[in-house]
């Protein structure tokens, strides 16, 4: 009997002696406590604690039964109407109004990829006042139906009805389907429309920012101002994590903590979505507190960064440079749904960064090969002026050479037929004599007259 009470998980220290009447404890006369008396106390304490534990278990089962009933009712209300499944194919500018409950699938066929549509974007906008609907994403209608059937077969119970997104960005170069399921008890209609953005400004800015970060990563990694800005930003965000850590210490560590762990993913998702949706409202209502919080944490972060100083280790700077360049390449890659074009931009940027001169020369050569310059023919007047200009230029070069020390005047005189005429040319006279000029003009006049005579004969024939 003594070993039994020593092994019992129920303690008897929590029992109070006044709860037991003396006759049940077999207290001997004279007030002496015997071994029988102690065993009676142990037995009564054991049964009292057992009764308390049974009462707690009844409460737990009662609460569990209530939750199961609620889940069952929710599942009954969520029974889908499988006969009302509709399929719609949308193009930019289309709009579909649906009033019947059930699953409706909206698809968009992929468009051909062209470089001019690199930053093209499609938006699907859901217009409804109801929050009782489910959304499924997939590439085909069969995939959407499969996700819907899996969701309906599972036994889900949404305790926290968070606000759902009503705008979806889709890839215009891939087949995309979106399924919207409304319940039977939901009598509100909804409208789904599709809009198109030929150039998404956000994606263009994202690519430009990625190029700037990649190209100037080395300078940024060595810039003290960039070091302080990153330190302040990291300090403000880290302080939020520290606050969350200390806030978690306020939660109990008992059975309530096990409940939080069991529903941790649902609770965390709900809290994160609620904070994200109400961030603007919180910032407006508690603007002063938010500003003071950012100011104080920024000052503390700046003091810490100033205390330790900028990075001086060359390897640490190199690691920061690589991290910035990798971030820039990721921003460029995800700045377009045209993945091949964005990946080509990343490769081209890497080549230009590592082999700038070679790539520039090859680029110029390729450009001239693909787009050669068009030859422009000269008119008769332009041809005459060009001849006069080039002749004068050549004569000036000849005079300059003959006047320079590089020219041997005696050898030059021996090669000339008329040295006196050449000497006059060097002194500034014309290189053409009067007789040659008259002969040239007469020849030009004769050629012009022959051309005019030939044109007149051709006109007479017609």
Average pLDDT of span 231-256: 72
In the chain, DSSP finds a helix count (H) and a strand count (E) of 18, 8
Q: CB-hemisphere CA count at 13 Å for 105?
A: 21
- The token pair that represents 173 in the structure block: 């170069």
pLDDT of residue 356: 77
Q: Which position has the higher pLDDT, 286 or 155?
A: 286
pLDDT of residue 203: 92
Q: Is 401 exposed, middle or buried (0-12, 13-18, 19+ CB in 10 A)?
A: exposed
pLDDT in tens, 378-391: 788 888 888 888 98
**Contacts of the segment 313-320: beta carbons below 8 A, 24+ positions apart:** 317/221, 317/222, 318/221, 320/220, 320/221
Place of tokens 């979806």: 168
CATH class of the 85-199 domain in this structure: mainly beta
Contact, 12 vs 45, CB < 8 A?
yes
pTM of the model: 0.54
pLDDT of residue 79: 46
Indicate the helix (H) or strand (E) that contains 305.
helix 287-308
- The token pair that represents 408 in the structure block: 């041997």
Q: How far is CA 258 from the centre of its chain?
A: 37
- The token pair that represents 200 in the structure block: 């998404």
Q: Which position has the higher pLDDT, 143 or 71?
A: 143
pLDDT of residue 210: 94
Percent of the chain's residues with pLDDT above 70: 68
pLDDT in tens, 346-403: 999 998 888 877 767 777 777 777 777 777 787 888 888 888 889 888 888 888 888 8
pLDDT of residue 82: 46
Using alpha carbons, list the distances in angstroms from residue 361 to 225, 354, 367. Answer: 36, 14, 10
Compute the radius of gyration of the chain from its Cα atoms.
46
Whether pLDDT at 183 is above 70: yes
pLDDT of residue 27: 47
Question: Which residues contact residue 273 at a Cβ distance below 8 angstroms, ignoring those fewer than 6 apart?
Answer: 162, 163
Q: CB-hemisphere CA count at 13 Å for 258?
A: 2
Whether pLDDT at 406 is above 60: yes
Q: Is 418 exposed, middle or buried (0-12, 13-18, 19+ CB in 10 A)?
A: exposed
Average pLDDT of span 429-440: 78
pLDDT of residue 342: 93
Distance CA 48, CA 10 (A): 10
DSSP codes joined into one string, 326-382:
HHHHHHHHTT-S-HHHHHHHHHHHHHHHHSHHHHHHHHHHHHHHHSPPPP-PPPHHH
Q: Which position has the higher pLDDT, 333 or 241?
A: 333
Whether pLDDT at 71 is above 80: no
Whether pLDDT at 162 is above 60: no
Whether pLDDT at 137 is above 60: yes
Contact, 177 vs 135, CB < 8 A?
no
pLDDT of residue 22: 46
Contact, 160 vs 270, CB < 8 A?
yes
Distance CA 257, CA 223 (A): 47
Whether pLDDT at 333 is above 90: yes
Q: How far is CA 190 from the centre of its chain?
A: 30
Q: Where are the domains of the chain?
A: 2-76, 85-199, 207-335, 392-432
Whether pLDDT at 1 is above 50: no
Q: Is 122 exposed, middle or buried (0-12, 13-18, 19+ CB in 10 A)?
A: buried
pLDDT in tens, 5-16: 444 444 444 444
Distance CA 51, CA 44 (A): 11
Distance CA 196, CA 111 (A): 13
Q: Is 20 exposed, middle or buried (0-12, 13-18, 19+ CB in 10 A)?
A: middle
Residue 11 phi/psi, 5-degree rounding, is -85, 150
Place of tokens 């890497």: 350
pLDDT of residue 62: 60
- Torsion, CA 75, CA 78, CA 83, CA 88, rounded to 10: -140
Q: Indicate the DSSP class of residue 17.
A: G
Average pLDDT of span 225-241: 86
Average pLDDT of span 225-238: 88
- The token pair that represents 418 in the structure block: 């008329």
**Contacts of the segment 374-380: beta carbons below 8 A, 24+ positions apart:** none
Place of tokens 């003396």: 22
Is residue 203 classed as helix, strand or coil in its secondary structure?
helix
Distance CA 233, CA 228 (A): 9
| pLDDT bracket for residue 158 (50, 70, 90) | very low
């Amino acid at each position: 009997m003594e070993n039994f009470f020593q092994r019992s998980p129920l303690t008897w220290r929590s029992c109070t002696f006044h709860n037991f009447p003396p006759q049940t404890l077999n207290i001997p006369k004279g007030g002496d406590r015997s071994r029988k008396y102690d065993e009676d106390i142990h037995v009564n304490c054991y049964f009292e604690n057992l009764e308390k534990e049974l009462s707690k278990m009844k409460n737990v089962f009662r609460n569990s039964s209530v939750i199961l009933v609620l889940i069952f009712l929710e599942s009954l209300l969520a029974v889908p109407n499988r006969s009302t499944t509709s399929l719609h194919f949308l193009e930019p500018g289309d709009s579909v109004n649906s009033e019947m409950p059930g699953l409706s699938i909206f698809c968009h066929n992929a468009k051909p990829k062209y470089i001019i549509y690199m930053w093209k974007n499609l938006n699907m906008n859901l217009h409804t006042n109801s929050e009782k609907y489910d959304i499924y994403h997939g590439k085909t209608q069969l995939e959407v139906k499969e996700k819907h059937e899996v969701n309906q077969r599972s036994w889900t119970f949404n305790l926290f009805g968070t606000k759902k997104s009503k705008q979806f960005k889709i890839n215009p170069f891939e087949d995309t389907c979106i399924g919207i399921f409304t319940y039977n008890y939901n009598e509100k209609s909804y409208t789904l429309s599709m809009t198109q953005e030929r150039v998404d400004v956000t994606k263009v800015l994202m690519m430009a920012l990625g190029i700037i970060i990649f190209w100037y990563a080395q300078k940024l990694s060595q810039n003290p101002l960039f070091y302080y800005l990153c330190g302040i930003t990291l300090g403000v965000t880290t302080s939020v994590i520290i606050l969350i850590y200390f806030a978690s210490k306020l939660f109990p560590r008992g059975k309530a903590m096990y409940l939080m762990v069991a529903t941790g993913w649902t609770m965390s998702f709900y809290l994160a979505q609620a904070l994200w949706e109400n961030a603007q409202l919180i910032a407006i209502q508690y603007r002063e507190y938010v500003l003071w919080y950012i100011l104080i944490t920024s000052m503390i972060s700046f003091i810490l960064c100033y205390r330790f100083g900028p990075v001086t280790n060359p390897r640490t700077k190199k690691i920061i440079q690589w991290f910035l360049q990798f971030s820039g390449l990721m921003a460029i890659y995800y700045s377009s749904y045209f993945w091949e074009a964005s990946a080509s931009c990343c490769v081209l940027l890497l080549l230009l960064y590592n082999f700038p001169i070679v790539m520039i020369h090859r680029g110029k050569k390729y450009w001239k090969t693909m787009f050669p310059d068009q030859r422009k023919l000269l008119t008769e007047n332009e041809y005459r002026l060009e001849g006069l200009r080039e002749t004068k230029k050549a004569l000036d070069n000849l005079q300059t050479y003959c006047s320079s020390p590089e020219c041997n005047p005696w050898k030059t005189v021996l090669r000339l037929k008329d040295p006196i005429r050449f000497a006059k040319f060097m002194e500034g006279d014309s290189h053409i004599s009067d007789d040659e000029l008259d002969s040239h003009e007469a020849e030009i006049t004769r050629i012009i007259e022959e051309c005019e005579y030939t044109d007149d004969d051709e006109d007479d024939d017609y």
